[in-house]
């Protein structure tokens, strides 16, 4: 399914100042490791009668959510101390498994280098606990690009995504404005958070999820960071900054030539 919006704006007031990224599923392919850790622990406590959860269950009820949100869904009767112990074990398992093969979403490093070359500011904004957020960024070898990491759990109870607080905090720390920043997300609740913070959102999603992320408010849907649609849109922002007008796509056609996709070394 193609995004057929008549007008696409990735930056409301060019030039760009900042790019803000979710981590799980947006910067890296982490779902298999989360699923493995959750599945093992949930079987151990007899969840669902000991029947293993499916990846689809994880995507529907866990992906993009904070541990607080997941805990309320899985074990609404458990006391906080029991939930804390469960998630401490889960995150330790996840970190161990992630070290076995966590990989970046294709083209991410090229985009980070492109952004650094233009003096753009970068931040990672996540519902993951800080320790694991930093583990993931470190495994990917991208810590140099992301001096700012903001977690939903640090924004106060009930203020993780889909609330906008984490993205607003990232803008504050970067000294950037919403009108000159873009969010990259993969989950519906993450997209909702970016939109609520007043920023355009680029969704990383396959064709089967495209309708859902567009309904959540995504301005552009791409498969990964090598997608020509992304680089065409970014080139449009550059052209708009030079011309003093917002970049648009009208009836699927742009008024400027698309940028070349950077080649990863």
Q: Nearest to residue 252, comparing CAs of 14, 9, 10, 8? A: 8
Say which of 6, 22, 224, 227 is annotated catalytic: 22
71 C-beta neighbours (distance < 10 Å), count: 18
The DSSP secondary structure of 191-256, one letter per residue, reads HHHHHHTT--EEEE--GGGHHHHHHHT-SEEESSTT-HHHHHHHHHHHHHHHHTS---EETTEESS
Non-local (6+) Cβ contacts of 12 within 8 A are 178, 179, 180, 200, 246
22 a catalytic residue? yes
Say which of 24, 165, 186, 227 is annotated catalytic: 24
Give me the phi and psi of 124, to 5 degrees please.
-105, 130
Q: What value does the CA radius of gyration of the chain take, rounded to a whole number of Å?
A: 19
Non-local (6+) Cβ contacts of 232 within 8 A are 254, 258, 259
Judge residue 158's burial from the number of C-beta atoms within 10 Å of its C-beta, 0-12 exposed, 13-18 middle, 19 or more buried.
exposed
Give me the phi and psi of 89, to 5 degrees please.
-70, -40
238 a catalytic residue? no
Catalytic residues: 22, 24
């Amino acid at each position: 399914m193609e995004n057929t919006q008549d007008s696409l704006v990735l930056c409301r007031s060019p030039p760009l100042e900042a790019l803000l990224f979710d981590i799980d599923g947006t910067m890296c392919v982490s779902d298999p490791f989360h699923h493995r850790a959750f599945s093992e622990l949930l079987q151990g406590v007899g969840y669902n009668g000991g029947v293993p959860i499916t990846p689809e269950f994880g995507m529907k009820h866990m992906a993009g959510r904070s541990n607080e949100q997941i805990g309320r869904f899985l074990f609404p009767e458990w006391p906080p101390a029991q939930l804390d112990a469960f998630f401490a074990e889960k995150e330790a398992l996840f970190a161990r498994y992630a070290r076995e093969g966590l990989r970046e979403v294709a083209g991410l490093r090229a985009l980070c280098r492109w952004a650094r070359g233009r003096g753009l500011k970068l931040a990672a904004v996540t519902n993951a606990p800080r320790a694991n957020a930093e583990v993931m960024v470190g495994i990917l070898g991208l810590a140099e690009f992301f001096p700012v990491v903001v977690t939903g759990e640090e924004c106060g109870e009930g203020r993780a995504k889909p609330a906008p607080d984490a993205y607003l905090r990232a803008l504050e720390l970067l000294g950037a404005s919403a009108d000159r920043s873009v969010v990259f997300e993969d989950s519906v609740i993450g997209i909702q958070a970016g939109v609520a913070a007043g920023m355009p959102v680029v969704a990383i999603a396959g064709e089967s999820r495209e309708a859902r992320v567009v309904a959540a408010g995504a301005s552009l849907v791409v498969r990964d960071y090598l997608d020509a649609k992304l680089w065409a849109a970014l080139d449009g922002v550059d052209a708009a900054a030079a011309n003093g007008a917002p970049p648009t796509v009208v009836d699927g056609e742009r008024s400027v030539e698309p940028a070349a996709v950077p080649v990863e070394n």
